[in-house]
Amino acid sequence: MCGIAGIISAKANKEKLQQMLNLQKHRGPDHTGNYVDSCYCALGHNRLSIIDLSAKANQPFKDNSGRYHLTFNGEIYNYKELKQELKAYYNFKTASDTEVLLAAFIVWGKSCLNKLNGMFAFAIWDNKLKKLFAARDRFGVKPFFYSEENKDFYFSSEIKAIRSVLKSNQPNEQVWANYFTFGSYGMPSDTFYDEIFQLPGGHFLEYQAGNLKVTRWYDFEKNLSKYSKILSFEEAKQSYYKILIDSISLRFRADVPIGFNISGGVDSSLLLALVNRLNKNKHIKAYTFYAGDENYDELPWVQKMIETTRNPLTKVKIQPSDVIKKAQFLSNIQDEPYAGLPTLAYAALFENAKKDGIKVLLDGQGMDEQWAGYDYYQNPGTTATIQGTGKMSPFRVKVLNDDFKELAKKPGYPTPFDNDLQNLQYRDLFYTKIPRALRFNDRISMAYSTELREPFLDYRMVEFAFSQPKTYKIHNGIQKYLIREILKEIAPQDLSYAPKRPLQTPQREWVGNELKDFTEENIEKLRYSKISYWFNFEEMQREWNNYKAGDNQSSFHIWQWINAGLLMGN
């Protein structure tokens, strides 16, 4: 897990590159390196050492011939297996997955991407052809941002790095308008800033002589054809369990200490049970957060599960004062709006893990989308993208001025399947839930120089689960049915059939009470900001007064205003 950066330009220079690397050094504090090719290309890297801790594995990494140079963020989990395939064609000098990735590209070209099981964003410079090749993993776990300005091409792991070298630096008003109107966090290539884009997950780009070409390499729909055979429920359960075990095993490949995050839900309980089954007697450290509010805390469920495994558990309590202290820091880290108190609470886990010397954490992201765990999956025709708000809209578009509001365009999502359930799952995997969660989680884990691994987002698991019949996902109204049946065999049954609890923090209560002054400060920032013309402050004040008076079934719109104040109010 690292930070990457680069400049392709007739005047590429180390000074600008170093400026970019300094702004994302938290992503990789163990080593900072650069490579410059005769002013055509400058590549940079911030290293967080996880596999092969030696200096030989530092980046940018060059091949044996010196023609190719790689800067890479992520992990190739199946690097040992790929290395065995490549040994006949490439003479390895390190024990790193970095060198395996570069060798795979040299030997197999672009098709190497289909062989990789991992999370990655990387760029390879061919100093013979003067050509850049860059790619991002299937689901976009690792970030890749880029921009073109005056025939200069910039890329990095963080938006702030690119913003520091661009002359033009304006918010993307349509993306912001969509955020306030529809809760959209942008489509796969969008960011909240003009002229800064992200390479979508499952895509690669090529840049040569000023020409940019972006191509999709991961065809999810086509890959599902390999699962056309309908298995019995027991066969499906056994097949999925086998992939699940292998996925977790692969993600324990590291030369540094590993821990994991846990909540009281089905997914975390399954991860906890399997981690301990695969790593007997190692007592891997677990981390969980709580707020001291029994209406939201999952601590009783967590402790019940921990009682059966005896893992050391670090319980991190969050308080309103933590929000006040950390909100601006995390806003600066995120560069874009984030999801409120759950993100702040989650960040506290990484902060504590770092203090404990843990450099890799696992968590259970991805099960709800592949096994239909959200409540709206049972409502045909739903357009909901936010969990747990019921019938009430979480948006307050009346607070937007008319000219700004007109910029909003309701996002349209592909519907490549012949049923509502799979189309919703597809939307959440590639356009809404997963992209948002991965973005929030990558940036907060990197803020504390820790690597986050998502074993449940192994592409083999996602493809297999997605392809299964609806009744294996939702059975007699019970969601994530197959997963619950697996967990029932290895954990207490009251955990395997525990209901989903979408709300994890007392954000609604805190925002209108303990955080009232904090909220009003950020609303006030908007009044005097460069984006004040976006808002009708009389209407915003009315909505805020209503909220304080008890109209607080959803706090999403309040946190939107706080986000805007934190990001744009300076």
Task: Tell me the whole-structure pTM to 2 decimals.
Answer: 0.95
As a whole number of angstroms, the distance between CA 214 and CA 118 comes to 21
Assess whether 30 and 79 both reside in one domain: yes
Assess whether 333 and 458 both reside in one domain: yes
- State CA 224 to chain mean position distance: 23
As a whole number of angstroms, the distance between CA 431 and CA 246 comes to 27
Q: Where residue 497 falls among pLDDT bands split at 50, 70, 90?
A: low
Asked if pLDDT for residue 503 goes beyond 60, the answer is no
As a whole number of angstroms, the distance between CA 231 and CA 238 comes to 10
Asked if pLDDT for residue 122 goes beyond 80, the answer is yes
Assess whether 373 and 468 both reside in one domain: yes
Q: Where residue 385 falls among pLDDT bands split at 50, 70, 90?
A: low
| Domain boundary pick from 183, 218, 253 | 218
For residue 395, being part of any structural domain is answered with no
Integer angstrom CA distances of residue 152 from 147, 184, 314: 8, 30, 47
pLDDT digits (tens, 9 = 90+) for 222-232: 999 999 899 99
Sheet with strand 118-126: strands edge to edge: 61-62, 68-76, 118-126, 131-136, 203-208, 211-216
Assess whether 56 and 84 both reside in one domain: yes
Q: Where residue 498 falls among pLDDT bands split at 50, 70, 90?
A: low
As a whole number of angstroms, the distance between CA 194 and CA 171 comes to 6
Assess whether 359 and 448 both reside in one domain: yes
Instruction: Write down the catalytic residue from 2, 39, 41, 112.
Output: 2
Domain range for 167: 2-218
Assess whether 529 and 464 both reside in one domain: no
Count: domains in the chain:
3
As a whole number of angstroms, the distance between CA 97 and CA 51 comes to 7
97 is in an annotated binding site: yes
Asked if pLDDT for residue 501 goes beyond 60, the answer is no
For residue 454, being part of any structural domain is answered with yes
pLDDT of residue 281: 55
Matching residue, tokens 């590639």 = 430
Instruction: Assess whether 2 carries a catalytic annotation.
Output: yes
pLDDT of residue 494: 60
For residue 405, being part of any structural domain is answered with no
Assess whether 98 and 145 both reside in one domain: yes
Decide if 525 contacts 565 (C-beta within 8 A).
Answer: yes
pLDDT, the chain, mean: 92
- Stretch 92-121: mean pLDDT: 97
Assess whether 104 and 137 both reside in one domain: yes
Say which range, 275-289, 341-355, 477-491, 508-522, has the weakest mean pLDDT: 275-289
For residue 430, being part of any structural domain is answered with yes
pLDDT of residue 347: 95
CA angle 275, 279, 280 (to 5 degrees): 115
| Domain boundary pick from 218, 243, 259 | 218
Assess whether 46 and 106 both reside in one domain: yes
Query: Helix/strand/coil (H, E, C) string of 146-213?
Result: EEEECCEEEEECCHHHHHCCCCCCCECHHHHHHHHHHCCCCCCCCCCECCCEECCCCEEEEEECCEEE
Asked if pLDDT for residue 206 goes beyond 80, the answer is yes
Assess whether 418 and 537 both reside in one domain: no
Amino acid at 215: T
Phi-psi region of 127 (alpha: psi -120 to 50; beta: other; left: phi over 0): alpha
Assess whether 418 and 274 both reside in one domain: yes
For residue 270, being part of any structural domain is answered with yes
pLDDT digits (tens, 9 = 90+) for 167-177: 878 999 999 99
- Stretch 25-43: mean pLDDT: 92
Decide if 35 contacts 62 (C-beta within 8 A).
Answer: yes
| Domain boundary pick from 169, 190, 218 | 218
The residues, ordered by sequence, that sit 6+ positions from 3 with a Cβ below 8 Å of its Cβ are: 21, 24, 25, 27, 28, 45, 46, 73, 156, 157, 158, 161, 446
Assess whether 481 and 518 both reside in one domain: no
For position 439, which CATH number holds? 3.40.50.620
Q: Which of 178, 546, 173 is nearest to 392 (CA)?
A: 546
For residue 12, being part of any structural domain is answered with yes
pLDDT digits (tens, 9 = 90+) for 435-466: 999 999 999 999 999 999 999 999 999 999 99
